[in-house]
Amino acid sequence: MIEIWTEKYRPSKLDEVIGQEHIVKSLKAYVKSGNIPHLLFAGPAGTGKTTCAIALAKEFYGDAWRENFEELNASDERGLDVVRGRIKNFARTAPLGRAPFKIIFLDEADALTPDAQAALRRTMERYTATCRFILSCNYSSKIIEPIQSRCVVFRFSSINDRDMEKYLQKIAEKEGIEITEEGMKSLIYVARGDMRRAINSLQVAASISNRIDADTVYRVASVARPELAKALLETALRGDFLKAREMLDKMFIEEGLSGEDIIKGLHGAIFDVSLHERKKAEIIDRMGEVEFRIVEGSNERIQLEALLAYLASIEK
C-alpha cells in the first residue's frame, strides 16, 4: 500500500503523538533537560516508534534537526561495513550549530547482523560525546545484551481503539471524507493496533469512495470479514461440510482472500463461537498446524478444506 498519508499526518511534536503517553512524558523530560541517553524503542509495527524519534529530534534541535539527525534503515544497510563506515563517520563528526550532540536513528535495528551489533556496541561507547543512538526494533530480544544495557529501553504498546478512532476522524475531517460507524469499526478491526495500517487502509478506501463504510474497508484490506469467518466456522461445526466448502470458495473467489487471510479470520472468530473451551483449544491447535503448512508452501485450498473436514467431524 502507498504511504503518502502516513507521512503527511505524522506528528511533528511529541505532544501530538497518540497512544504512548507514558513514553512521551519521559522523552519530553529529556528534551527539557537538554540531554538524551542512548534509546531503544521496541514494540509492534505502526505504534509510533519512528514518529517519536523524529518528533524528539525536531523538538530538541528545532530548525537544525535535519543537519543533526541521521536516519538509517538497518534492514537495508545491516552489514559490518555500514557500522564501520557510514555510521562511524557520522558519529565522530561534531554537531552543527549549538547542538551538544547528533542523533543517529537506526530503524529495524533487530535486522543488524551479530557482527554489526558487536561493532555498534563499541561505536556507541566511544562517540558518546558527539552522538546519541536511537534504535528501533520489533523484537528487543534480537538486540545483543551489551547494546541493551547501554540504552534506556521503551516498550511501545499497540494503539488502543479510542485513540485510533480519534486520529482517523481527524484525518477524515481534513480530507473531506465521511466514515460511517461500521466503517470506523472495520478500520479498527483491520488495523489491530497498527496505526500505520489503519491510515493506509483509510487512504486506499478513500480512493474508491468519499464515504467509507464496512464494505469499502474489507474490499481493500484483504481481511476476512468477522461475520463471514464466524458463519463459516458455525456451518462446519454443524457438520454441513459441503455448505462450508461453498462459503470457502466464495471467500477465495469473490472476496479475493488468500489462505493466510482466511485462517487469520477464522482464528479471530473462534472465540465468538459457542463451544466448549477444550474444543476451542483443539481447533486452535489444528489451525496453527494448517497455517504453518500454508506458509511452508502447501496448497492453501486443500489445507483449508482439510480444516473444515476436521471441524465437521467434531461432535459439538
* Residues 150-185: tens digit of each pLDDT: 999 999 999 999 999 999 999 999 999 999 999 999
Location of each CATH 3.40.50.300 domain in the chain: 20-155
Q: Does the structure show a pLDDT above 60 at 290?
A: yes
C-alpha cell at 3: 504511504
Residue 179 and residue 169 in contact, taking contact as beta carbons nearer than 8 Å: yes
Q: What is the pLDDT of residue 115?
A: 83
**Is the CA virtual torsion 133, 137, 140, 146 positive or negative?**
negative
CA-to-CA distance for 212 and 180, rounded, in angstroms?
A: 6
CATH 1.10.8.60 maps onto the chain at 161-221
Q: Given pLDDT bands bounded at 50, 70 and 90, which one contains residue 306?
A: very high
| The model's pTM | 0.81
Give the CATH number of domain 226-313. Answer: 1.20.272.10
Q: Was domain 161-221 assigned CATH 1.10.8.60?
A: yes
Q: Which of 86, 146, 105 is CA-nearest to residue 122?
A: 146
pLDDT at 257: 86
Around 285, how many Cα atoms within 13 Å sit in the side-chain half-sphere?
6
Q: Band of the pLDDT at 135, cuts 50, 70, 90?
A: very high
pLDDT of residue 143: 92
pLDDT at 221 (0 to 100) = 82
Report residue 48 CA to chain centroid gap. Answer: 9
The model's confidence at residue 77, banded by pLDDT at 50, 70 and 90, is low
Beta carbons within 10 angstroms of residue 259's beta carbon: 22
Q: Once rounded to an integer, what is the mean pLDDT over residues 197-220? A: 89
> Which ranges in the chain are annotated with CATH 1.20.272.10?
226-313
Q: How confident is the model at residue 263 (pLDDT cuts 50, 70, 90)?
A: very high
Q: How confident is the model at residue 79 (pLDDT cuts 50, 70, 90)?
A: low
pLDDT over 80 at 1, yes or no = no
Mean pLDDT of the 54-65 span: 90
Quote the CA–CA distance of 100 and 33 in Å, as a whole number.
12
Residue 310 pLDDT > 90, yes or no?
A: yes
User: Would you state the CATH architecture of domain 20-155?
Assistant: 3-Layer(aba) Sandwich (3.40)
